[in-house]
Amino acid sequence: MDTGTIDLVAFDESHLDGAVSLSREAGWLHRREDWAMSLPLSRGFAAMLDGRVVGTAMLTPFGDDCATINMVIVAAALRGRGLGRRLMNAVIAAAGARECRLVATPEGMPLYETLGFRASHAINQHQADLGAPPDAQPQNGVVWASEADAPAIAALDRAAHGIDRTALTHRLAEVGRLAVLREGDRLAGYGALRSFGRGELVGPVISQTQDQARALIDFLAAARSGTVLRIDTPATSGLSPWLAGRGLPQVGDGVAMRRGSTSAPPAGPARPFALASQALG
């Protein structure tokens, strides 16, 4: 089949059901709600063939300097025919002069490398059915966030990632719950908990130290309502052995990649330990 006969159209709510079917075919756990979570923040493309969604790619811009590319999927029957490249070229063009970031699967890396992306670090995916949530144990300084914490949360996230993700932190508060770690009058970390796939997802988690990250994760894990929990963390965070010891084995991995980056992320008082799901890169 000539993939040139496939139309690329702007992704909107009418494409959600087709996108869910694609992600299920690919073995992803995303529900319709997980796809819809990123719609207010993103723009993207749906590849259409005979009224069916046969490919997707989404772009989430963060200001004028950076964007993440996510939800890049091609129907199994059409892989290897250039449709993935067409979709990627479309979102890269939509990004303009922005640096682009993504988390690649091993299968996707060769394509991304030909498009100018370079690996920066590995991402470890941890997930397990943990059974019933434990009785919540107090964690020193960790409490649920209030609306008044929103500016400090956005500032902490910006210091960690080097980009302004205020819209994302607001969206996470809408669809899930945010916890914060206080040290006196200062906000030293935050983390998010939301429904995802067959259970719940913890991430992002931003803190200055591993101990702070562990306290946030323990607090959020105890607050889950179901049994299945997922956490994605950079391999460089050093949290993977601890997560495995908490009953969350590593079940997959990815590679964080960048295109158009002119410098490393600025050093700041906080570093990312657990990242958001692949829905937003």
Find the radius of gyration of the CA atoms of the chain.
Answer: 19
Above 60 in pLDDT, residue 200?
yes
* pLDDT given for residue 185 in this prediction: 87
- Residue 40: pLDDT band (50, 70, 90) is very high
CB atoms closer than 10 angstroms to residue 19: 22
Contact 227, 132 (CB under 8 A): yes
Task: Give residue 13's pLDDT band: very low, low, confident or very high (50, 70, 90).
Answer: very high
Over the stretch 14-33, which tens digit does the pLDDT of each residue have?
999 999 999 999 998 899 99
* Tokens representing residue 176 in the block: 């899930």
Beta pairing class for 228-234 and 52-62: unpaired
Most confident of 137-141, 155-159, 247-251, 274-278: 247-251
| Residue 2's pLDDT band (cuts 50, 70, 90) | low
Residue 48 carries which side chain, given as an amino acid letter? M
**What is the pLDDT confidence band of residue 226, given thresholds at 50, 70 and 90?**
confident
pLDDT at 265 over 80: no
Provide the pLDDT for residue 136: 64
Alpha carbons 179 and 221: distance in angstroms, whole number? 11
pLDDT, tens only, 123-163:
999 999 998 887 766 678 999 999 999 999 999 999 888 88
Residue 281 has pLDDT above 70, yes or no: no
Averaged pLDDT for residues 221-225: 92
Mean pLDDT, rounded, for 184-212: 93
pLDDT band at 267 (very low <50, low <70, confident <90, very high): very low
Q: What is the mean pLDDT of residues 93-116?
A: 95
Report CA-CA distances (Å) from 115 to 2, 246, 279: 22, 39, 21
Say what the pLDDT of residue 268 is.
41
Cα–Cα distance for residue pair 183/129, rounded to 1 Å: 32
